[in-house]
């Protein structure tokens, strides 16, 4: 059943300077939803601001090459004191918000959450969560329509990017007939799938490809080939010239190994700890991710653990093996 967007449209009507935020390590869905919603609000005479609480990955620099729209949120958020409301897009958990999470906890600013992930914290304020939506981009499209607007060609491009990437370019099970209908509408409104695909998937720096080679070389399997995993260490960035944002698609490779049911990528973090990406064909990995302080979708989740990679890897692999045995 479609969400009732009227409380959110009322919220946006009351706030002229909303801050639009997404999760750390922003992806195309979160960024696309932010930028499309900003486009709609600007057309209504609002003064929205778009921010991220971690670095903008190089692959998305084409969205705002001069950084005139996407701002960095750092520290205690003093630079955003003029914002009179917050809309958090594509996450509903504090551990995905970085420094911005502390800002939300300490400042009584009106807020709303728009998300499609199962795992949620209570961030306060309004909550609009549709776990049946294939992307937050769809939700941003629905908000735009609820505001009485038709997406502009620029916004349609952002929304198509969000929908296409969060469905693996329409390959994953969350791509439904409704997904293709929305994609067709967005193309009719001006989205350019060919250009987007080339920018996202066919313009990789050599350093990113070298890092991919490292990840593929380290691929291992467990449980008779039912589990595949790889890992990236901090030293790999200096060795290849890559940056942490270049790890975004590495989960594709363990998931592509024949007969694999669960794929994992372990990434040593610059600030300490280990990031884990989970993908599965049937097992509910969101429950596994939640055990390690993360969460997400049933078949695609993530977590970050403040312990060394070797220790985390062994703990997660044991948990995965136990979950497969129980299933």
Residue given tokens 């045995």 in the structure block:
325
Does 206-326 carry CATH code 3.10.310.30? yes
Residue 312 has pLDDT above 80, yes or no: yes
Number of H helices, E strands in the chain: 12, 12
Question: Alpha helices of the chain — where are they, by DSSP H?
Answer: 6-14, 28-43, 99-106, 136-146, 153-166, 177-188, 193-201, 206-217, 235-240, 252-255, 285-291, 309-326
Residue 317 has pLDDT above 70, yes or no: yes
Output the six-digit token pair for 109: 């600013």
Residue given tokens 């008779």 in the structure block:
224
3-state DSSP helix/strand/coil percent for the chain, to nearest 5? 45, 15, 40
Cβ proximity of 275 and 234 under 8 Å: no
Q: How many alpha carbons lie under 13 Å from residue 275 in its C-beta half-sphere? A: 21
Cβ proximity of 166 and 211 under 8 Å: no
**Comparing 107 with 148, which gets the higher pLDDT?**
148
Distances in Å between the Cα of 82 and the Cα atoms of 15, 16, 48, 131, 178 are 11, 10, 10, 32, 39
C-alpha to C-alpha distance for 233 and 242, rounded to whole angstroms: 12
Identify the pLDDT of residue 1: 61
pLDDT in tens, 44-70: 999 999 999 999 999 999 999 999 999
Separation of CA 265 from chain center: 16
Domain span(s) for CATH 3.10.310.30 in the chain: 206-326
- What's the CATH number for 6-201? 3.90.1640.10
Using CB atoms within 10 Å of the CB of residue 47, give its burial: 0 to 12 exposed, 13 to 18 middle, 19+ buried. Answer: middle
Identify the pLDDT of residue 257: 97
pLDDT in tens, 247-306: 999 999 999 999 999 999 999 998 889 999 999 999 999 999 999 999 999 999 999 999
The stretch 99-113 carries a mean pLDDT of 93
pLDDT in tens, 183-237: 999 999 999 999 999 999 999 999 999 999 999 999 999 999 999 999 999 999 9
Domain span(s) for CATH 3.90.1640.10 in the chain: 6-201
State the pLDDT confidence band at 74, using cuts at 50, 70 and 90.
confident
Identify the pLDDT of residue 311: 97
Global model pTM greater than 0.85? yes
Reduce the DSSP state of residue 135 to 3 states and report it: coil
Identify the pLDDT of residue 327: 85
Identify the pLDDT of residue 76: 83
Identify the pLDDT of residue 138: 98
DSSP state of 60: G
The stretch 109-117 carries a mean pLDDT of 97
The stretch 5-24 carries a mean pLDDT of 97
Report the residue count for the chain: 327
C-alpha to C-alpha distance for 117 and 95, rounded to whole angstroms: 14
Cβ proximity of 322 and 143 under 8 Å: no
Identify the pLDDT of residue 166: 96
Identify the pLDDT of residue 271: 81
Cβ proximity of 73 and 62 under 8 Å: no
pLDDT in tens, 214-225: 999 999 999 999
């Amino acid at each position: 059943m479609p969400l009732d967007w009227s409380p959110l449209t009322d919220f946006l009507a009351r706030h002229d300077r909303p801050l639009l935020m997404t999760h750390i390590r922003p992806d195309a869905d979160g960024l696309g939803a932010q930028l499309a919603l900003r486009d709609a609000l600007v057309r209504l005479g609002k003064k929205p601001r778009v921010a991220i609480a971690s670095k903008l990955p190089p692959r998305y620099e084409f969205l705002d090459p001069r950084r005139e729209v996407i701002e960095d949120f750092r520290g205690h958020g003093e630079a955003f004191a003029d914002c009179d409301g917050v809309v958090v897009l594509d996450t509903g958990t504090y551990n995905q918000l970085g420094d911005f999470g502390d800002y939300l906890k300490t400042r009584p600013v009106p807020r709303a959450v728009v998300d499609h992930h199962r795992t949620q914290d209570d961030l306060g304020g309004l909550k609009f969560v549709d776990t049946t939506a294939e992307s937050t981009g769809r939700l941003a499209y629905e908000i735009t329509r609820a505001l009485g607007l038709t997406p502009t060609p620029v916004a349609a491009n952002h929304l198509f990017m969000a929908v296409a990437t969060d469905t693996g370019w329409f390959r994953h099970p969350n791509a439904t007939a409704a997904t293709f209908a929305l994609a067709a509408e967005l193309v009719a409104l001006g989205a350019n799938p060919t250009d987007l695909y080339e920018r996202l998937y066919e313009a990789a720096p050599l350093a990113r490809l070298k890092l991919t080679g490292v990840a593929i070389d380290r691929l291992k399997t467990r449980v008779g080939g039912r589990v595949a995993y790889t890992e990236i260490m901090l030293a790999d960035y200096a060795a290849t010239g890559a940056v942490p944002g270049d790890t975004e698609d590495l989960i594709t490779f363990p998931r592509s190994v024949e007969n694999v049911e669960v794929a994992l990528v372990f990434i040593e973090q610059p600030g300490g700890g280990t990031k884990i990406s989970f993908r599965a064909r049937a097992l509910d990995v969101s429950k596994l991710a939640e055990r390690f302080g993360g969460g997400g979708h049933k078949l695609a989740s993530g977590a970050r653990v403040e312990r060394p990679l070797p220790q985390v890897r062994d703990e997660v692999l044991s948990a995965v093996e136990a979950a497969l045995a129980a299933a």
